[in-house]
Structure 1
Amino acid sequence: MTTITTQDGTHIFYKDWGPKDGQPIIFSHGWPLSADAWDAQLVYFANQGFRTIAHDRRSHGRSDQVWNNNTMDQYADDLAELIEQLDLKDVILVGHSTGGGEVTRYIGRHGTARVAKIALIGAVPPLMLKTEANPGGLPIDAFDGIRKGTFDNRPQFFKDLTIPFYGYNRDGAAISEALRDDFVRQGMMGGLKGQLDSIRAFSESDFNEDLKQFDVPTLVLHGDDDQIVPVDASARATVKIVKQAVLKIYEGADHGLTVTHQDRFNADLLDFINS
């Protein structure tokens, strides 16, 4: 397997497809998935001449399952080490859901010297948790429920999660049982401890200060029927902070729109990159 080794000795698996001299696009996946969630995008954009890269977040997929350091700061530092060890420049960073938080924290901690553009897709910033300062967020009980479901019966919880994740509980939805099974497969590749830690990382991390560091073209794309990361407290709040951001809303789209709206998403992301 292709891996890098981070400063704390963790092996991070990554895929590196397409021409090595192409402009690099790094895709950061959502919880509890892996780089496999981006396979269609990796192929599509590699065929367009880009160097496409996707990594498994620590304690997810084929990367090492670690007991400590499953934090948003560490996720961002791992991304930085991947970029630096591969000596990537003019990178396009694409983050979905928790991956959007990872990308955002990377900018906050490491800046944009190596970054050309950013795309946040169904992403968790600025803050998912409901607080006095963030009344539009989700209550802590919602995340405690995710923790309990993951701990008690992880495969069943992941299988059940696919229903709201892909909008399969909406009228007319075309349910793919194979896609649901693959979601469980990806989730079960990761480590329970790291995935539990990651729930805190994606739900309680405050990205407001990180977003203020954005100074490159940014696409914020979200479905307005996202049942996992509600659009008002995320995408619509983010574009109020990132002044040069472009907001694109998919009417009626779910959280997993990179799959359920795959062709449209790929075309829109390509348009943004080429614009």
Structure 2
Amino acid sequence: MGTIKVADGTEIFFKDWGPKGAQPIVFHHGWPLSADDWDAQMLYFLAQGYRVIAHDRRGHGRSTQTDTGNDMDTYVADVIALTDHLDLRNAVHIGHSTGGGEAARYVARAKPGRVAKAILVGAVPPIMVQSANNPGGTPMSVFDGFRTALAANRAQFYLDVASGPFYGFNRPGAKIYPGTIQNWWRQGMIGGAKAHYDCIKAFSETDFTKDLQAIDVPTLVLHGDDDQVVPIADSAQLAIKLLRKGQLKVYPGFPHGMLTVHADVLNPDMLAFIKA
């Protein structure tokens, strides 16, 4: 574990486990979480002999609680600084939700030789918010509601998200894991309210269409068809049409947080893609 200081003085916390000569896998977390959300994946891939790296996005987790720079281009600039600092080559970048957007933009802009493959899981690209050009998107009123709830009572809002739609715990017959809910809440509350508030705009309004079109490495898109946070019809099913070397795998009944509650299914699927 360590930190780097980027150009504007922000400190970015990161974990770097495993043999430094092994192929690196870089994990990009979702909103409003941290590198800890990748525990099930980092331990799994570490045991498979990979070098595993995950950072806390600025304003999240143990990184600086920034009041500026909470936008996708700055997030990606931070990732570039980290990958340059660690001199990562031939890496696999895996992004979930907001982190899927961050990973897509990074991979599209990465220097030659830096990236081997990419995996987008429950990811926000191409763009979430509804507009004339994206009629199937999520209405702006939903994201305005997120901002209102965060500002009014962030602690309760985060508990409600984790207890309900994020993991599908609001579905009839769902097996509920109280520890998973508490861990989501813990991660969220470590971060900064201002950064999380700003990040709602970053994940919902950033258009990743050109990033997806520019990616020239094999890219696996994984999505649950019961994702209540990033609906599949306006994300994965559109993203796959924009990727030059994309593969789509849909998981029937799986929720947005499937990397945690169904790690036993997703981890081997990601490993098979990486090894192929």
TM over 0.5: yes
Amino acid at match of 2:26: I
Residues 107 and 118 in structure 2, CA contact (< 8 A), matched pair in contact too: no
1:189-211 Cα offsets, whole Å, 9 max, x none, are 00000000100000000000111
Amino acid at match of 1:17: W
Amino acid at match of 1:149: A
Q: CA deviation at 1:266?
A: 0.5
Amino acid at match of 1:268: D
Indicate whether 1:254 and 2:272 are aligned.
no
- Matched residue of 1:27: which SS? strand
* Cα distance in structure 2, aligned partners of 1:248 and 1:28: 19
Q: CA deviation at 1:59?
A: 0.2
* Worse-superposed segment, 101-110 or 264-273: 101-110
Residues 30 and 97 in structure 2, CA contact (< 8 A), matched pair in contact too: yes
- Matched residue of 1:165: which SS? coil
Q: CA deviation at 1:108?
A: 3.5
* Cα distance in structure 2, aligned partners of 1:11 and 1:146: 27
Amino acid at match of 2:191: G
- In structure 2, the partner of 1:227 is 228
Q: CA deviation at 1:112?
A: 5.1
Indicate whether 1:203 and 2:204 are aligned.
yes
Amino acid at match of 2:242: I
- In structure 1, the partner of 2:218 is 217
* Cα distance in structure 1, aligned partners of 2:258 and 2:112: 27
Q: CA deviation at 1:109?
A: 3.4
Amino acid at match of 2:37: A
- In structure 2, the partner of 1:134 is 134
* Cα distance in structure 2, aligned partners of 1:112 and 1:69: 26
- In structure 2, the partner of 1:236 is 237
Residues 112 and 214 in structure 1, CA contact (< 8 A), matched pair in contact too: no
* Cα distance in structure 1, aligned partners of 2:96 and 2:216: 20
Residues 112 and 216 in structure 1, CA contact (< 8 A), matched pair in contact too: no
* Cα distance in structure 2, aligned partners of 1:121 and 1:200: 20
1:147-172 Cα offsets, whole Å, 9 max, x none, are 11111111110010011000011122
Q: Structure 2-normalised TM-score?
A: 0.98
* Cα distance in structure 2, aligned partners of 1:134 and 1:110: 27
- Matched residue of 2:187: which SS? helix
- In structure 2, the partner of 1:191 is 192
Aligned residues: 275
- In structure 1, the partner of 2:87 is 87
- Matched residue of 2:233: which SS? coil
Q: CA deviation at 1:243?
A: 2.9
* Cα distance in structure 2, aligned partners of 1:77 and 1:195: 18
Indicate whether 1:147 and 2:147 are aligned.
yes
* Cα distance in structure 1, aligned partners of 2:8 and 2:221: 32
Residues 111 and 213 in structure 1, CA contact (< 8 A), matched pair in contact too: no
Identity of matched residues, % = 54
Indicate whether 1:175 and 2:176 are aligned.
yes
* Cα distance in structure 1, aligned partners of 2:268 and 2:53: 18
Q: Structure 1-normalised TM-score?
A: 0.98
* Cα distance in structure 2, aligned partners of 1:82 and 1:263: 29
Residues 25 and 94 in structure 1, CA contact (< 8 A), matched pair in contact too: yes
* Cα distance in structure 1, aligned partners of 2:175 and 2:231: 22
Structure 1: gaps spanning 5 or more residues:
none
* Cα distance in structure 1, aligned partners of 2:113 and 2:200: 30
Residues 165 and 256 in structure 1, CA contact (< 8 A), matched pair in contact too: yes
Q: CA deviation at 1:111?
A: 5.1
Amino acid at match of 1:89: R
* Cα distance in structure 2, aligned partners of 1:230 and 1:112: 33
Amino acid at match of 2:135: P
Residues 17 and 43 in structure 1, CA contact (< 8 A), matched pair in contact too: no
* Cα distance in structure 2, aligned partners of 1:110 and 1:140: 31
Amino acid at match of 1:87: D
- In structure 1, the partner of 2:46 is 46
Amino acid at match of 2:185: V
